[in-house]
Amino acid sequence: MPENDSREEIRFAGTAVSPGIVRGRVHLKGVLMDEPESRRIAEGEVEGEKARLRQALVKTREQIIEMRQKIEVSAGSENASIFDAHLLLLEDSTVLDEIMRLLENERRNVDRVYFEVIERYLESLRRIEDPYLRERAIDIEDVARRVLRNLGPGENADEEMVFEGMGEEFILVAHDLTPSDTASIDRNHVMGFATEVGSTVSHTAIMARSLNIPAVVGIPALRSEVETGDVVLLDGYNGLLIIRPSEETLEKYEVLKAEKAVLLDDLQEMRDRETETADGKQITLSANIEFSHEVSQVQKQGAEGVGLFRTEFFYANEEALRTEKAQTRQYIDVAMAVAPNAVIIRTVDLGGDKLMPGLFTEPEPNPFLGWRGIRVCLDEPDIFRPQLRSILRASARGKVGVMFPFICCVEEIRNAVAALDEEKENLRKAGEPFDANIEVGAMIEIPSAALMADELAKEVDFFSIGTNDLVQYTLAVDRVNDRVADLFRTSNPAVLRLIKHVVEAAHRNGIWAGVCGEMAGDLMMTPLMVGFGVDELSVGASQLLSVRRAISRLEVPECQQLVEKIGGVASAVEVETLCRDLAMEKYPELIS
């Protein structure tokens, strides 16, 4: 909702996905896909419509390849590989078979049939609560828009994002932008962009950061509030779009821009340093990734390896991506890229709101308390076993760890480790190399696992605490439900006591403990992470240097004293006040 600061100025809050502050005039972009008209065709026209689709697919493939080459030059091969997934989506046999069947049975024009089939797929994805999987809808929409355009009049088929008549720099406002849109942006004209939907995990957000374009996403109904030509200020640090900024606001932002410029230069000095406290306590600072092409970016930010490699992407897309061969190649690429540092690969975490086509055919009354995580893996060996073999093969090419998600009891971790041991033996018999001592970890996301940490620690080499789910299940708060959003607090004393117990149990049993949820990158919580004795933090690329700076300003005894203080505190607000006081004392320039 807009917040009126004065009669002149209107502010909109969204999600900051690419940093920077820019001021300019708005250019509004229309909807992504035009809806084709529906018309009946004769039986003799069916083959002609099929041929028209095949020609459009060929042309679309050529355009995507051309776009990939363009991005490889401007933003590197890692970002260009986004369009490899687009090529797979373009050739998805499930979609194409359905379109051909409907053409024959319903006899309607192919562009309308294509549109309706794609819309059904998009609608199912848009209903998914997981932001990462929900954002994959924009990739399908990107490909579909190209196909529909190529099915249309030839003179418009090659049209990309053009802004004729725009003689000055501007800020782009749209409902959403596809990766192709973002890749096509002319930096000589587009200063930054704001969209009504989107998240930090979208391909568009990733590319915006790679191309250094300030961006804010997730501002509902924004296009109804601005017009082309409006003067706005875009704040990619704090996620704000300000219409008609006042002189006072502009003066404040000039100061902020200068401060940020100094801070960014200063933080670059942290890139090649070890992560350690002011009194010499070392902590491993690694990165969370979902795609192999993200490795280059996290390395540029000084990551000490990959602490969480999510693998759901392979199972949410074309079947070719989840073959044993394809996964092995991806895992090897990442292992070799981060060497001599480690990559920890989480086995596929399906279920809940992360569904795999064809696997979850029957709805569950409560999917978040149902068939998900390690439960799916143990029940579906045809999914689990090939992934284990792929991970093991990668362990011969670099330092690799494997961890199992959503563990709730000792039996589950024992069964998972037994499966891993069996696949080791199968590879050994086949003469394939692997690391026989590959590190094995359990994700601690469920209160039962946290309470049984001493027993679980005897079965594994490390713990990785997934704070997002741990908060959700400890507090019985759906993390995407706006009605109870105020209760979802990582600072809740119950959650913190569980984390403290898990870390202490790990150390009692001679294993290490890391944190890979949102709390790991929360600078307010950094003193607690140090005070708890956490051995590793795994965060997003954009958070790495700030977290390293924060840790370098802290000393272990003062953080341990903070932990003692919160031990006697009963409310999240009190915890936050104590944490903020210490953070502001030690690194005020990092706190917004």
- 3-class SS at 118? helix
Backbone angles phi, psi at 544, to 5 degrees: -55, -55
With left for phi above 0 and alpha for psi between -120 and 50, is residue 431 left, alpha or beta? left
203 catalytic residue (yes or no):
yes
User: Within 13 Å, how many C-alpha atoms sit on residue 560's CB side?
Assistant: 7
User: Within 13 Å, how many C-alpha atoms sit on residue 67's CB side?
Assistant: 29
Which of 463, 447, 313 shows the shortest CA–CA distance to 401? 463
- List Cα–Cα distances, 388 to 139, 348, 424, in angstroms: 28, 10, 9
- For residue 164, what are the contacts with CB-CB under 8 A and spacing of at least 6? none
Catalytic residue among 86, 293, 377, 516: 516
Q: What is the DSSP secondary-structure string of 39-54? A: -B--GGGHHHHHHHHH
With left for phi above 0 and alpha for psi between -120 and 50, is residue 302 left, alpha or beta? left
189 catalytic residue (yes or no):
no
Which of 451, 449, 437, 441 shows the shortest CA–CA distance to 396? 437
Catalytic residue among 203, 293, 377, 559: 203
| Locus of tokens 């953080």 | 559
| Locus of tokens 């480790």 | 417
- For residue 154, what are the contacts with CB-CB under 8 A and spacing of at least 6? none
DSSP 282: B
Which of 580, 590, 579, 585 shows the shortest CA–CA distance to 545? 590
Which of 500, 466, 416 shows the shortest CA–CA distance to 308? 466
Which of 589, 12, 5 shows the shortest CA–CA distance to 248? 5
| Paired strand residues for 28 | 173
Q: How many CB atoms lie within 10 A of CB 435?
A: 18
Start-to-end CA span in the chain (Å): 21
Which of 63, 134, 94 shows the shortest CA–CA distance to 318? 94
- For residue 479, what are the contacts with CB-CB under 8 A and spacing of at least 6? 468, 471, 472, 488
* Cα gap 308→537, rounded to integer Å: 10
Active site residues: 203, 516
